[in-house]
Amino acid sequence: MEIRRMGPIGAEIVGVDLKTMDEATFGRIYQAWLDSNVICVRDQELEIDDFLTYSRRFGSVSPHPSKSTRHPDYPEITVLGINKFRPDGTLNKEIYRRGAEGFHTDGAYEEVPYKATQLYALAIPSTGGDTFFSSGYAAYAELPQHLKRRLEGRCGEFKYGGRRQANLLLDEEDRNAKPVRHPLIRAHPETGRTLLYFDCGKILGIEGLGDAESDTIIEEMKAYMVQPPCQYRHKWRKGDVVIWDNRCSYHKAAGDYPPEEDRIHWRVSIKDYAAS
């Protein structure tokens, strides 16, 4: 097995079969993931059960609240990119552009947010459809002192769909979940490194601040989410298994591939065993 760092974040792993690797090999993969925020294992041939078994090495697999996009036989699997066209032939943008509205972290609306998200690429378009990643550590490091001071010890309030109420992928009865609170500046539970935990598409406001200041600071934080060179652009190949750490990274789908082509992934949300 070879692990190739792609820069300050992102690593590509080749020469391993995730179905048969041993514990020591998984240990190296897990460490590369902690070191790189996001990793891609290339060239895998997996059935759903193989994908779930591998995913469970990282934590417990938790069904996504969007019920309409779950796999019919495996609720813990979300399928990205299917049923893109409505019966009348129009493109459903919620599905086609899922994850493309801005850099975000998955599951900030959960009491215990997802530790990781993992995707397995089943079909890849001829052009476009990349995924962009950036680092929550770098975002924190570059925040100006006045923002660090204002945010230290404060929580954000988060909800699926955020201030725009972008919740069309949820069933109607699931749209009124209570907002949850998370500290905006925190240490990563495994690496100990300090990071900015933030998602402008899910945050409602910053506790203890008035609406105007909260909105202003949210706009300011947004500007720090992508810090070149701490970014990685993933160009998908069929058979890729990509896992990102939602605790210390942000990501965004390009949302730009030819809609008539397939771009299909199995996707799981993973929580820490201790937390679930």
Q: Does 199 bind Fe ion (CB under 5 A)?
A: no
Tell me the DSSP string of 247-260.
TTEEEEE---S-TT
Q: Does 66 bind ligand AKG (CB under 6 A)?
A: no
Q: Does 106 bind ligand AKG (CB under 6 A)?
A: yes
Within 225-264, which residues bind ligand AKG (CB under 6 A)?
251, 253
Site string for ligand AKG, 76-105 (x = CB under 6 A): ----x-----------------xx------
Q: Nearest distance from residue 234's CB to ligand AKG, in Å?
A: 8
Sign of CA dihedral 121, 125, 127, 128: negative
Chain centroid, CA 247 distance in Å: 9
Which two tokens mark 102?
């801005």
Q: Are 70 and 225 in contact (CB under 8 A)?
A: no
Interface stretch with Fe ion, choices 62-70, 81-89, 94-102, 217-225 (CB under 5 A): 94-102
Torsions phi, psi for 2 (to 5 deg): -120, 135
Count of residues that interact with Fe ion, criterion CB under 5 A:
2
Within 123-142, which residues bind ligand AKG (CB under 6 A)?
131
Q: Nearest distance from residue 238's CB to ligand AKG, in Å?
A: 14
Tell me the DSSP string of 190-243.
TT--EEE---TTTEEEETTS-HHHHHHHHHHHHTTS--TTSEEEE---TT-EEE
Query: Alpha-carbon Rg of the chain, whole angstroms?
Result: 18
Q: Does 122 bind ligand AKG (CB under 6 A)?
A: no
Site string for Fe ion, 100-129 (x = CB under 5 A): ------x-----------------------
**Using CA atoms, how far apart are residues 152 and 183, in angstroms rounded to an integer?**
8
Q: Does 267 bind ligand AKG (CB under 6 A)?
A: yes
Q: Nearest distance from residue 179's CB to Fe ion, in Å?
A: 19
**Sites of contact with ligand AKG (CB under 6 A):** 80, 98-99, 106, 117, 131, 251, 253, 267
